[in-house]
């Protein structure tokens, strides 16, 4: 198969997943709503202490983003598995890892990108300084694709199980921890007025690593799940 037809398959699959997401808007809004609700409930729960909120704000936003991503992960492959289209991807004449990458990109556009758009508002809500909000956006921009990429491996491994939700969280959460530590710490550091280049470099490294390895791992995991 030449690269032209691979490019066509990639763009068509990306378009297909976006069309499906638009036709099932409610599912798409779920993680975003969760993200906004959880973050905005914290000030109500612990009281409106500006210093306290500013201190824990980055952590809250990142934990909420991480859980929102987890909530939406199953959707990457579940419905395709149930209606048999996933089998068709494995039997296609294209490398499965490239098709996986299209699906993960679609997932990020549907669930990760909206988080980025509302995050500045939530930053203001929690009283984060402007520098910290800018860093928050940068970490989310670099970090949310990592959530989708690593999550895809977990979903691919558990999609064949009837109740894979619990195992999925146990599999994926430990992989998310380094990202959470560096991202939340970067925002904290920025709020204190210190440089965050090192943090951002580390998160970028995670992104590159996930981008290059996770599609291969996901493709292999899908083969195992479907056999």
**In the complex, which residues of this chain contact another protein (CB under 8 A)?**
1, 5, 8-9, 12-13, 16, 19-20, 23-24, 79, 82-85, 87-95, 226-227
* Least Å from the CB of residue 115 to another protein: 24
Q: What is the DSSP string of 4-49?
A: HHHHHHHHHHHHHHHHHHHHTHHHHHHHHHHHHHHHHHHHHHH---
Q: Give the residue from 182, 172, 116 showing the smallest Cα distance to 147.
A: 172
* Least Å from the CB of residue 155 to another protein: 18
* Least Å from the CB of residue 18 to another protein: 12
Q: Give the residue from 111, 225, 112, 226 showing the smallest Cα distance to 171.
A: 225
Separation CA 40–CA 57 (nearest Å): 10
Nearer residue to another protein within complex by CB, 95 or 165: 95
Nearer residue to another protein within complex by CB, 93 or 197: 93
Nearer residue to another protein within complex by CB, 65 or 219: 219
* Least Å from the CB of residue 160 to another protein: 12
Q: How many residues does the chain have?
A: 227
Nearer residue to another protein within complex by CB, 82 or 192: 82
The Cβ-side half-sphere exposure at 88, using a 13 Å CA radius, reads 7
Helix and strand element counts for the chain (H, E): 10, 0
* Least Å from the CB of residue 110 to another protein: 14
> What is the dihedral sign for C-alpha 188, 46, 72, 28?
negative
* Least Å from the CB of residue 151 to another protein: 22
Separation CA 178–CA 214 (nearest Å): 16
Nearer residue to another protein within complex by CB, 16 or 134: 16
Query: Which element (helix H / strand E) includes 81?
Result: helix 78-83
Nearer residue to another protein within complex by CB, 47 or 84: 84
């Amino acid at each position: 198969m030449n690269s032209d037809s691979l490019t066509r398959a990639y763009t068509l699959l990306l378009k297909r997943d976006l069309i499906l997401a638009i036709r099932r808007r409610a599912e798409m809004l779920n993680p975003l709503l969760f993200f906004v609700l959880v973050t905005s409930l914290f000030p109500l729960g612990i009281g409106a202490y500006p210093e306290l909120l500013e201190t824990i704000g980055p952590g809250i936003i990142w934990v909420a983003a991480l859980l929102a991503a987890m909530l939406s992960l199953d959707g990457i492959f579940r419905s395709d598995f149930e209606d048999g289209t996933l089998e068709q991807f494995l039997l296609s004449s294209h490398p499965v890892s490239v098709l996986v990458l299209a699906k993960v990109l679609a997932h990020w556009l549907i669930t990760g990108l909206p988080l980025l758009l509302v995050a500045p508002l939530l930053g203001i809500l929690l009283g984060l300084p402007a520098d910290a909000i800018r860093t928050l956006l940068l970490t989310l921009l670099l970090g949310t694709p990592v959530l989708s990429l690593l999550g895809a491996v977990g979903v691919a491994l558990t999609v064949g199980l009837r109740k894979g939700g619990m195992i999925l969280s146990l599999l994926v959460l430990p992989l998310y921890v380094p990202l959470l530590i560096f991202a939340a710490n970067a925002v904290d550091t920025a709020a204190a007025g210190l440089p965050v280049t090192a943090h951002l470099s580390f998160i970028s490294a995670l992104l590159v690593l996930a981008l290059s390895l996770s599609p291969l791992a996901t493709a292999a995991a899908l083969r195992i799940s479907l056999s």
